[in-house]
Structure 1
Amino acid sequence: MDPDAYLARIGASRPERADARALRDLHLRHLDAVPFENLSVHLGEPIELDEPRLYDKIVRRGRGGFCYELNGAFAWLLTELGFEVALLSARVFTPDGEPGPPFDHLTLRVDLDEPWLADVGFGRFARFPLRLDAVGPQRDPEGEFLVLDTPDGDLEVRHDGRPVYLVETRPRRLRDFAPTCWWQATSPDSHFTRSLTCSLPTPQGRITLSGDRLIETCGDEREERTLTSDEEILDVYRISFGMRLDRVPALRQVPGRP
């Protein structure tokens, strides 16, 4: 496992020091280079929360992943570069405003002169790290973010006024997330088994491939079209996401789903 190879994967240089400026640059470059995707769920590939396997998938194979993989691997890289990193469990809010279960999401606290929230594994989220101790809104290219203390001692993160997730402040180990990761990848009730997604930000907006649907946004404009052949789909994975796949992922049939 070579941190310089990881840096090359995201188009970054080794920082001179582990500071807020370096964290900001690494965070942005990771988001721009490594797709948020759940293709392993539908390709029948095991998802193992083990740093060498995550490194192999993201760096050697040029793939992406979902939160446990992306933030788990990014935590390893930051640690190798001299940052102090803690893995935190977060509960993602459902559409009806209720927080999900513990370990629903993995995010990162990076301790510098002040603590920062770093998250390269949530899909559309802050492009830059967020100050955990900041009072008041924080502006970001993706909108306005707010970090609030809760009566239970957790931190609530809001995006444009909408609650996104609750963050526990107790540090965790990567293997602590394994049971929920397995549930996310196998349960008929998990949204990761119900849909295919591969997504990256672009200078103008975002590009997402969901099965055979290619969705591109540019500001407030949204264009969607259906790809008509496996060859066309594989070309989009290769050209737009930098991933060479042997076959087109197909929505997995999960036992127990109606």
Structure 2
Amino acid sequence: MNEELPQSAHPLTPARTDAYLERIGAARPARDDAAALRELQLRHLRTVPFENLSIHLGEDIVLEEEKLVDKVVTKRRGGFCYELNGAFAALLRSLGFRVTPLQARVFGDGGRLGVPYDHIALRVETSDGTGPWLVDVGFGDHALHPLDLGSRTEQEDPCGRFRFREAPQGDLDLLRDGSEQFRLDPRPRVLEDFRAGSWYHRTSPDSHFTRSLVCSRNTGDGRVTLRSRTLITTVRGERHGTELSGDAEVLAAYRDHFGISLTHTPSVRAPLTA
């Protein structure tokens, strides 16, 4: 893909980049190569949670890199795909990587595809001649390592075997252990293109984000997830669920497992368009 779109109009300052790296516990890489990219993605997934709390806390979600980075770095929060991959793209660009947003549609029940701009993922080019890579820190339980966009064979990852399959109109389907995950459109996009998709997922009664509360991150040997008042921990494949009894326990779970300090317990709000 030779077509290029403008990179970030407002690149992160060196101090802001360092603060982001501190947030995810990463050192500034010496090179913008595949090894550095792999380490940055892994550390992001283990420190910055996938969460949709803003939808139910009445917080605005603005798809501007400066605001997304501020949410992740200064406010020590997470977000859903548009926020996490939008912020991570800004970090990667500030470190010398070439990043292109791509739109995807997630496979749902019965193989039905979601709405256009259902999901944002990142195409990342490195200086060592490998890749290009599909980078995604905003799909929840997903690949821990970047995936080679040029490969059509299975790629081993701690979270399963991933494979790209040719799809109609030049798209690519991503499969995990043989199960369809999402259909990727390889044409370059910009962050602003995803505003309609973000609005849909924040407001529509048909969006699963408006119907549930979720906060989740990788832990190294599994995952920890808080769904409303149910705390779910998975360690080396063994899953345990605990019902939290009161607001104090819920707030403590957000703080202790995800580093999120809230003043009150979020609850599912009625969608704006309902």
Mapped to 2, the partners of 1:240 and 1:203 lie a distance apart of: 13
Number of residue pairs matched by the alignment: 257
In structure 2, the partner of 1:225 is 242
2:101 maps to 1:90: no
> Taking structure 1 as reference, are residues 13 and 255 closer, same or farther at Cα in structure 2, changes over 3 Å only?
closer
2:20 maps to 1:6: yes
Q: CA RMSD in A?
A: 1.0
User: Mapping of 1:157-172 within 5 angstroms?
Assistant: 157-172=174-189
> Taking structure 1 as reference, are residues 120 and 255 closer, same or farther at Cα in structure 2, changes over 3 Å only?
closer
Q: Deviations over 1:211-238 (max 9, x none)?
A: 1111111233211111011111111111
What residue identity is the alignment partner of 1:245?
L
Between 13-22 and 91-100, the greater mean CA deviation after superposition: 91-100
TM-fit CA distance, 1:188? 1.0
User: Mapping of 1:101-140 within 5 angstroms?
Assistant: 101-112=115-126, 113=129, 114-140=131-157
TM-fit CA distance, 1:255? 5.0
Q: In the alignment, is the contact (CA less than 8 A) between 2:122 and 2:135 conserved in 1?
A: yes
What residue identity is the alignment partner of 1:39?
L
Overall identity of the aligned pairs, in %: 53
TM-fit CA distance, 1:202? 1.3
Mapped to 1, the partners of 2:50 and 2:272 lie a distance apart of: 25
What residue identity is the alignment partner of 1:237?
Y
Calculate the TM-score normalised by the size of structure 1.
0.97
In structure 1, the partner of 2:205 is 188
Mapped to 2, the partners of 1:90 and 1:35 lie a distance apart of: 21
Q: Which of residues 206, 220, 239 in structure 2 aligns to 1:203?
A: 220
Ranges of 4+ aligned residues in structure 1 off by more than 2 Å = 254-257
TM-fit CA distance, 1:246? 1.1
In structure 1, the partner of 2:82 is 68
Q: In the alignment, is the contact (CA less than 8 A) between 2:51 and 2:79 conserved in 1?
A: yes
Q: In the alignment, is the contact (CA less than 8 A) between 2:203 and 2:273 conserved in 1?
A: no
Calculate the TM-score normalised by the size of structure 2.
0.92
TM-fit CA distance, 1:256? 5.5
Q: Where do 5+ consecutive residues of structure 2 fail to align?
A: 1-11
2:34 maps to 1:17: no
3-state SS in 1 of match to 2:263: coil
Mapped to 2, the partners of 1:75 and 1:217 lie a distance apart of: 29
Mapped to 2, the partners of 1:144 and 1:21 lie a distance apart of: 20
In structure 1, the partner of 2:166 is 149
2:266 maps to 1:252: no
Mapped to 2, the partners of 1:81 and 1:256 lie a distance apart of: 40
In structure 2, the partner of 1:48 is 62
Mapped to 1, the partners of 2:168 and 2:203 lie a distance apart of: 34
What residue identity is the alignment partner of 1:91?
R
> Taking structure 1 as reference, are residues 156 and 246 closer, same or farther at Cα in structure 2, changes over 3 Å only?
same
Q: Where do 5+ consecutive residues of structure 1 fail to align?
A: none
In structure 1, the partner of 2:114 is 100
